[in-house]
Structure 1
């Protein structure tokens, strides 16, 4: 075997990674796309909402004249499952700097009826055309160094609630938000972590749609357990991320009536706020 053939493979690149393959859509007709939703991005058997948002985001990037999601709002109508799905897109308005579109992801139920899983409305533009000025009071989360944080692979056994998606992500949680995994939740609605894709692919605007919904739910650190399904998720992409791991901070201020909000910030290696999100999620209280 030659030295070149035996050399270890380097990190995956944008456009050539598992994330890219599993979010790739095939255009069947103008505005209509086919995809096979991968079981590799499931949480307790359900397809992760951030992965689904990236699928819809990729279809809209093809359907609209602008390349990058600026703002995308998704309503999760029914739980998606691995397997075939159809994405239908529609351009709502096209302008010089922004275009707006909507998209729906649909699957068939066991009786062969078409069921809408998600509906989104999004505005797209060109992140590279934005001015460089930044005026902000926001600050990056104060995370310990990556080597002092912990992920699912650092425990003696799989973390309760772990899932297939964990094998595809590099998540290293701040120990101060890891009490839930040790049976000692802090009671605070906070979750912080270093984040990346396990194959080393650098972040881009589409993977930011995954990053905001990839950490364990803040409900875990509030002493609750079980699935926390997303009802609505809005993501703002602020700039194209620099290479290197991301830092993600998620907070919840109010849990009432079986619902909570999660506010997320995503920071890149250049200390820039590259994405923000808010979602409404349902929690099991008993």
Structure 2
């Protein structure tokens, strides 16, 4: 993982922006070349895919900010050409709703749907400042006391190109798995940013909720943990600076677990929340 850049990339002019940009082919249809730089164990990361579809919907809908977006991951996406098709479900004064699907051509020449989302968009800048909450930011040691994913004794099997594009500093109390002594608590916490120093925006929040190592690692389970369904609530435009991400799971049953994520900005505001259902490959 690269360290935070000394020269910061601007929002709209960063690797993340370029790699999630979609090109309008015709009304409601967008083309994109999914970058291999956002893969883990050969598959394209789910948060990156969510940002891609999120950008397509921001163009298709009259509102530009995702408020809530729910995605079902149908088949594993691969780097390379893809098409996104969008539909406007409803438009209103404060919220608009749309759906989108991403398709790729498989090895047999058939078009395959990879992911389908339903989302509501609005204007985060128009929201009132009133906040009433019992939520508290996660307690994470200072950045200099945290660790990169590459500090683990063994690399991730199959490779993890995405970590080269992220600024991740993981809480050492959630890294027992890297030392062969998982805590069994199902927790993962980290400082989060983009390696080129680009400040976060709502689309980066869609990436952040699915960018940390799986909580399954701290349950003593290794290997790929593919997302089945992921819902993200974006609560506010994040302040500049690094984010703090906290992810927990309480229940692994029948080969599936849930992950609840909170994303906090540098102003101590809860700017995004998510829940996902993921599949776990159990031994035996």
TM-score range, shorter chain: over 0.9
Selected match of 1:238 from 232, 235, 239: 235
Match of 2:28 among 19, 27, 31: 31
- Paired position in structure 1 for 2:147: 150
Q: Is contact 1:159–1:181 with CA below 8 Å preserved after alignment?
A: no
Matched, 1:83 2:80: yes
1:201 lines up with 2:209 in the alignment: no
Higher normalized contact order (CA 8 Å, seq sep 6+, divided by chain length):
2
Match of 2:65 in 1: 68
1:255 corresponds to = 252
Q: Which moved more, 1:155-164 or 1:57-66?
A: 155-164
* Counterpart Cα distance in 1 of 2:6 and 2:185: 41
Matched, 1:11 2:8: yes
5+ long unaligned stretches in structure 2:
none
Cα shift readout 1:51-74 (whole Å, capped 9, x = no counterpart): 000000000000000010000000
Residue in structure 1 matching 2:39, options 35, 39, 42: 42
The answer to whether the 8 Å contact 2:153/2:179 transfers is no
Give 3-state SS (helix, strand or coil) of 1:135's partner: coil
Shift of 1:118: 0.3
CA RMSD, aligned part only?
1.2
Shift of 1:111: 1.3
The aligned residue for residue 116 of structure 2 is 119
Superimposed CA distance per residue, residues 209-258 of structure 1 (whole angstroms, 9 cap, x where no aligned partner): 00000000000000001000000000000000000000000000000000
1:215 aligned residue (189, 212, 220): 212
- Farther-moved stretch of structure 1 (150-159 vs 132-141): 150-159
Aligned residue in 1 for 2:172: 175
State the secondary structure of the residue aligned to 1:120: strand
Per-residue CA deviations over 1:125-177 (Å, capped at 9, x if unaligned) read: 00000000000000000000011000124346635565000100011110000
Q: For the Cα contact (< 8 Å) 1:160–1:181, is it kept in 2?
A: no
> Is the contact made by 1:193 and 1:215 (CA closer than 8 Å) also made in structure 2?
yes
User: Are 2:281 and 1:284 aligned?
Assistant: yes
Name the TM-score, length of structure 1 as normaliser. Answer: 0.96
Other-structure match for 2:163: 166
The aligned residue for residue 270 of structure 2 is 273
Tell me the CA shift for residue 10 of structure 1. 1.4
Aligned mates of 2:226, 2:9 — CA distance in 1: 30
Q: Provide the TM-score with structure 2 as the length reference.
A: 0.96
In the TM superposition, what whole-angstrom CA distance separates every residue of 1:72-109 from its partner, at most 9, and x where no partner exists? 00000000000000000000000000000000000011
Which of 88, 92, 97 is 1:100 aligned to? 97
